[in-house]
Amino acid sequence: MSEHSTNTETTGGEPTRRDFLYLTTGMAGAVGAASVAWPFIDQMRPDASTLALASIEVDVSSLEPGMSLTAKWRGKPIFIRNRTPKEIDEAKNAPIADLKDPNARNANLAADAEATDVARSAGEGKENWIVMIGSCTHLGCVPLGTAGEYGGWFCPCHGSVYDTAGRIRKGPAPMNLFIPQYSFTSDKVIKIG
């Protein structure tokens, strides 16, 4: 046999003490590296003040029908609109078959919920309220409110047009504007997140 043969060749394929030592040394090195790296990884977690911003409360008492406001949540614009009866009727009368994206995209509902007007709004009895993440689903631009062919939102960057329920109707955007997890804590305060 050659003097450069491995230990497993001399023992007929059975592991030797040297193989065991290589394995345990490697494992000890991996554990040591992980214990040294953990403090650096752990410091990258968000601190308590950041976690506190995981949800916000927005006072909407000043929003009359037809008015909207933009809040900021987790670095994203949030569109909150108190829709007029006309805007609600226009959104209700849009056939689901005419929509580019038939999915509600509402974090408060099942993932497969249809994009009806009620599924896009705050629900029964609060159909006038709509709360959405204000980022165009095409490239993340911020659409302009009460603009476009359907009176909802219009993204001037590439021409995406959303209706008064935030559903994509024309343009390159593939999906409806997303609706975050939210709830009314009172008649005039919305908790987002």
Does the active-site annotation cover 158?
A: yes
State the catalytic residue, choosing from 158, 174, 186, 189: 158
Which residues are CB-neighbours of 66 under 8 A, at least 6 positions away? 82, 83, 84, 87
Give the largest Cα separation in the chain, rounded: 92
d(CA 179, CA 163): 14
Is-contact 105 178, C-beta < 8 A?
yes
Residue 97 token pair: 């078959």
Active-site annotation, residues:
158
